[in-house]
């Protein structure tokens, strides 16, 4: 009989990360489907609040806690996950593909003599347990099953609903960890300013900037500085995540006007990212196939383009505004600012 363990962790706050809570949802569904016991392991400085938030799951709660587990570090995180796996005696281990766990999960699977699959987007049990992931830039969807146990599955964020329930008092079993000598001391976190960090995987909206923003406009001039202000203003006011077309991010190496906050990490498409957001708004982008293939997991698609024959109008978007994006975003920013004057 299978036994399921969900590995979770906190971040800077005492609460479990959203990706951890999504993995809890997957664990609950899998345990129910298999009628298998479920344990949830928590890695945190202090797991009290996290355990309370999981009380209603009815799962066995295990925790590795202490100052050493407040921050990500390979040696302590791997030791914590290994101890939780050994305590739970799990045959299937689900973990969020957070930077913290993605770094250690393969090592932990190896220590336990198990196997691991990553980028899992769904788990089903038609007969045996089957995990789904995409290959070749999200073009081929594969369904995997394995006999080897323990089987570690690293779940991509954004693929499950986050578990949410009213907290109730709960006590997690403390699992002792033999920490190896720690060579890495975490002295603090250096993160970009909120408005400098333009890639926001949890955002409800993906805002895509295309090359049109830096092209000559109807007045014969380029308005790159104005484009920067409009785009950054929209991101600040809406909290959207910023994506880009390849043409726009490539321009930096071609001595053309650039938007300084864009890098190749923002690129969406065949040779870029395939982000997951409920909605997407494309601006000044032609909507060619190598770009739009990166929109596979965007729920509702809208585009603003001057070109009535762009790819978006040819069935690739739900709604297309044939309009000047400079004017539309300017107006949108004014509306958003008046709706939320403190933003
Ligand atoms: C092997 C391969 C891989 C590729 N991979 C990717 C990829 O991963 N991602 C990607 O994006 N591309 C990729 N491409 C490139 C892709 O084919 C397109 O060339 C690219 O997406 C075009 O970018 P764009 O639409 O921003 O620019 P353009 O084609 O220059 O389109 C700009 C658009 O902006 C509009 N516009 C201009 N001004 C305004 C305004 N004021 N208001 C509204 N609209 C305006 C114009 O009408 C035009 O439609 C790939 C190509 C190849 C061959």
Using the predicted structure, report yes or no on whether residue 194 has a pLDDT greater than 60: no
Mean pLDDT value across residues 174-200: 84
Cβ–Cβ < 8 Å for 305, 212:
yes
Quick: pLDDT tens for 231-289: 999 999 999 999 999 999 998 776 677 888 898 999 999 999 999 999 999 999 999 99
Using the predicted structure, report yes or no on whether residue 3 has a pLDDT greater than 60: yes
Of all atoms in ligand 1, which is nearest to the CA of residue 268?
9
Helices and strands (H and E) in the chain: how many: 8, 14
Using the predicted structure, report yes or no on whether residue 189 has a pLDDT greater than 90: no
Integer Cα distance of 205 and 199 in angstroms: 11
User: By alpha-carbon position, which residue is closest to atom 50 of ligand 1?
Assistant: 290
pLDDT of residue 342: 73
C-alpha 215 – ligand 1 centre gap (Å):
11
Cβ 211 under 6 angstroms from ligand 1? yes
Cβ–Cβ < 8 Å for 337, 343:
yes
Cβ 266 under 6 angstroms from ligand 1? no
Using the predicted structure, report yes or no on whether residue 192 has a pLDDT greater than 70: no
Cβ 227 under 6 angstroms from ligand 1? no
Lowest-confidence region among 1-10, 153-162, 186-195, 229-238: 186-195
Instruction: Tell me what the pLDDT averaged over the chain comes to.
Output: 94
Using the predicted structure, report yes or no on whether residue 137 has a pLDDT greater than 80: no
Tokens describing residue 179:
């920490």
Mean pLDDT value across residues 78-92: 98
Cβ 250 under 6 angstroms from ligand 1? no
Using the predicted structure, report yes or no on whether residue 14 has a pLDDT greater than 80: yes
Cβ 305 under 6 angstroms from ligand 1? yes
C-alpha 337 – ligand 1 centre gap (Å):
29
C-alpha 211 – ligand 1 centre gap (Å):
6
Counting ligand 1 atoms within 8 A of each CB, the residue from 246, 250, 257, 274 with the most, and so the one to mutate, is 246
Looking at the chain, how many residues does it have?
343
Using the predicted structure, report yes or no on whether residue 294 has a pLDDT greater than 70: yes
Cβ–Cβ < 8 Å for 17, 95:
no
- Report the alpha-carbon angle 264-243-296, nearest 5: 110
pLDDT of residue 158: 85
Of all atoms in ligand 1, which is nearest to the CA of residue 289?
17
pLDDT > 90: percent of the chain: 86
Lowest-confidence region among 174-183, 194-203, 312-321: 194-203
Tokens describing residue 116:
């691991």
Tokens describing residue 104:
């250690």
User: By alpha-carbon position, which residue is closest to atom 29 of ligand 1?
Assistant: 286
C-alpha 245 – ligand 1 centre gap (Å):
6
Cβ 306 under 6 angstroms from ligand 1? yes
Cβ 291 under 6 angstroms from ligand 1? yes
Integer Cα distance of 182 and 75 in angstroms: 7
C-alpha 289 – ligand 1 centre gap (Å):
9
pLDDT of residue 139: 78
Cβ–Cβ < 8 Å for 45, 73:
no
Q: What share of the chain is helix, strand, coil (3-state, %, to 5)?
A: 35, 25, 40
pLDDT of residue 254: 67
Integer Cα distance of 222 and 284 in angstroms: 13
C-alpha 267 – ligand 1 centre gap (Å):
11
Mean pLDDT value across residues 67-91: 96
């Amino acid at each position: 009989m299978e036994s399921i363990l969900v590995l979770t962790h906190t971040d800077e706050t005492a609460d479990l990360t959203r990706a951890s809570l999504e993995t809890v949802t997957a664990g609950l569904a899998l345990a129910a489907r298999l009628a298998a016991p479920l344990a949830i392991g928590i890695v945190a400085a202090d797991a009290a609040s996290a355990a309370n938030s999981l009380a209603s799951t009815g799962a066995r709660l295990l925790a590795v806690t202490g100052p050493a587990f407040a921050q990500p570090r390979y040696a302590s995180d791997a030791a914590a996950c290994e101890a939780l796996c050994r305590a739970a005696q799990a045959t299937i281990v689900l973990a969020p593909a957070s930077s913290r766990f993605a770094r250690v999960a393969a090592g932990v699977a190896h220590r336990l003599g198990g196997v691991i699959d990553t980028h899992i987007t769904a788990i089903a049990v038609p007969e045996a347990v089957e995990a789904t992931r995409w290959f070749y830039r999200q073009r081929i969807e594969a369904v995997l099953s394995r006999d080897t146990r323990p089987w570690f599955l690293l779940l991509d964020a954004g693929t499950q609903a986050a578990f949410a329930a009213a907290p109730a008092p709960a006590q997690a079993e403390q699992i002792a960890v033999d920490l190896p000598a720690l060579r890495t001391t975490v002295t603090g976190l250096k993160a970009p300013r909120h408005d400098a960090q333009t890639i926001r995987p949890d955002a409800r909206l993906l805002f895509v900037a295309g090359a049109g923003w830096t092209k000559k406009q109807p007045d014969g001039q380029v308005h790159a500085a104005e484009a920067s202000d409009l785009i950054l203003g929209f991101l600040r006011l809406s909290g959207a995540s910023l994506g880009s077309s390849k043409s726009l991010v490539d321009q930096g190496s071609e001595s053309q006007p650039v938007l300084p906050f864009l890098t190749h990490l923002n690129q969406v498409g065949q040779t870029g990212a395939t982000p997951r957001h409920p909605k997407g708004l494309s601006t000044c982008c032609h909507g060619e196939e190598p770009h739009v293939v990166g929109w596979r997991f965007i729920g509702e698609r809208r585009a603003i383009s001057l070109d009535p024959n762009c790819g978006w109008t040819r069935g690739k978007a739900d709604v297309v505004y044939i309009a000047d994006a400079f004017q539309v975003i300017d107006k949108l920013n004014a509306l958003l600012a008046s709706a939320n004057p403190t933003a």
